Structure 1
Amino acid sequence: MFNVCDNCGSYRPDKEIQQSPARAICPDCQHAHHFVQQPLFVICGPSGGGKTAVCRHLQQQTNAFIPLEADILLRPEFNNPDKKGDFQETWLRVCKNVGQAGKPVALFHSGGLPQNIEPCVERRYFSTIHYLALIATDATIAARLEARPAWRGCTPAFIDDQVAYNQWFRREGMHRTPPITTLDTTQATVIETSNQVLRWVRFDFTKPET
């Protein structure tokens, strides 16, 4: 496991990070663990925005990065209010370790907002984190959710919450730190949206670090 020190065996996710080359310094013994410091791409947004469909499509269409759907690790224990942040920390730890194979992760995660991700202990292992929200018109979000099978639990109250969440991204996304870029999927096919997400990731890959 990445968080276990190779030298003293301590489990310390809170290692100090040094750059050029990237090294994680164990707080207990000062051992320097060299690692690949990747960017992370978080695709968030309301249910009905198209995250799952785009993630599945990109898994078959690109090898530039690893698209992962956050819900595959969702379990009831992550709803424990006494362990707020565990789900985010778990996913950052997964993405960090996957990235050691040489490719960054694009994490499709409805709740992957800067205010949830940036305070995490595991955040330090990424060079940058970029945020993109897939949104649509309120009517489109509602119609997509209403069309889902009953077992998905898209009650009127849930749909209202997701429409409000959709509005939040339009109103607040660019005011977050870092800002959340928005991509409207109302008129786009899954293929078109996937291509736009791919271009967004590639653009951020080539941005000079500041």
Structure 2
Amino acid sequence: MGLDLRICPSCGDRAARPVAAGAVLTCVRCEHRWPFTRLPLFALTGPSGAGKSTVGPLLTSRFAGEVVVLEQDVLWADALRDDVRAFRSVWLRMAAMLHQNGRPVVLCGTVAPPEFEQLPERVFFSEIHYLALVSSPDSLRRRLRARPAWREWDEPRIEEMLEFSDWLRNSGVDVFDTTDVAAEDTADHAEKWIRSRLPD
């Protein structure tokens, strides 16, 4: 079995839309079937400035050897920055490959559930759990305005993040407000939330 789950280990065909039933993939070309490790994916999302990049490193030490914690922005560059759908697809494929090593993935980054749920690679995961870190509008404005110039946080972009934060609060995903919460306490909440959803 290869690590790239889109590629059939029998005929080598690469599926544009993988077909999975439970933890078994089927090649649409040769009908070969093979098992794979199908785990839940954890998406730690939220608007920029709500604390994801602060909490992520705290979670790495808490989950060392159990769960892989990754920052989405490390691939937010070059061609992938010009194609958000490809950017999301690459991350799902990467997480699915890591799952073949038996460790669940926590993916930290600004993402709306529809951006993952509609992708062909969604079949690689038993579930995608979303925890959105949010903050008050005043707090987000203050944090984003304080960022270095190279991050290009102008007022229209800040307002977009505020709209996204408001959307998340009403989207039905789990939400945790970090406005007046210390980073360690936010990490405590995220750790408990993840642990309660890890497979047995």
Structure 2 length as normaliser, TM-score? 0.91
Secondary structure of the structure 1 residue equivalent to 2:197: helix
Tell me how far apart the structure 2 counterparts of residues 2 and 135 of structure 1 sit (CA, whole Å): 34
Confirm or deny: 8 A CA contact 1:46 1:135 kept in the other structure: yes
Tell me how far apart the structure 2 counterparts of residues 91 and 68 of structure 1 sit (CA, whole Å): 10
Tell me how far apart the structure 2 counterparts of residues 69 and 46 of structure 1 sit (CA, whole Å): 14
Confirm or deny: 8 A CA contact 2:41 2:127 kept in the other structure: yes
Aligned to 1:169: 168
Secondary structure of the structure 1 residue equivalent to 2:31: coil
Tell me how far apart the structure 2 counterparts of residues 35 and 66 of structure 1 sit (CA, whole Å): 18
Tell me how far apart the structure 2 counterparts of residues 113 and 155 of structure 1 sit (CA, whole Å): 22
Secondary structure of the structure 1 residue equivalent to 2:11: coil
> Out of 46, 55, 67, which is 1:65 matched to?
67
Secondary structure of the structure 1 residue equivalent to 2:106: strand
User: Following superposition of structure 1 onto structure 2, how do residues 28-47 of structure 1 map, counting pairs within 5 Å?
Assistant: 28-47=29-48
The yes-or-no answer on 1:196 pairing with 2:196 is no
Aligned to 2:9: 6
Deviation at 1:206, TM superposition (A): 5.8
Identity of aligned residues (%): 31
Gap runs ≥5 in structure 2: none
The residue type paired with residue 118 of structure 2 is P
Call closer, same or farther: CA 1:92–1:113 in 2, change over 3 Å: same
The residue type paired with residue 70 of structure 1 is Q
The residue type paired with residue 203 of structure 1 is S
Tell me how far apart the structure 2 counterparts of residues 45 and 84 of structure 1 sit (CA, whole Å): 17
The yes-or-no answer on 1:153 pairing with 2:152 is yes
Tell me how far apart the structure 2 counterparts of residues 98 and 117 of structure 1 sit (CA, whole Å): 17
User: Following superposition of structure 1 onto structure 2, how do residues 1-210 of structure 1 map, counting pairs within 5 Å?
Assistant: 1-19=4-22, 22-63=23-64, 64-80=66-82, 85-110=85-110, 112-170=111-169, 172-174=170-172, 180-205=173-198
Q: Deviations over 1:150-200 (max 9, x none)?
A: 222122222222222222222x221xxxxx111101111111111111111
Q: Deviations over 1:93-131 (max 9, x none)?
A: 000001111111111120x22211111000001001111
Confirm or deny: 8 A CA contact 2:39 2:199 kept in the other structure: no
- RMSD over aligned CA atoms reads 1.7
Call closer, same or farther: CA 1:76–1:56 in 2, change over 3 Å: same
Deviation at 1:38, TM superposition (A): 0.5
Aligned residues: 196
Secondary structure of the structure 2 residue equivalent to 1:85: helix
Deviation at 1:60, TM superposition (A): 2.4
Deviation at 1:13, TM superposition (A): 4.8
Structure 1 length as normaliser, TM-score? 0.87
Q: Deviations over 1:57-102 (max 9, x none)?
A: 212221331111111111242344xx55211111110000011111
Which aligned runs of 4 or more in structure 1 are off by greater than 4 angstroms?
Answer: none
Deviation at 1:10, TM superposition (A): 0.9
Confirm or deny: 8 A CA contact 2:137 2:162 kept in the other structure: yes
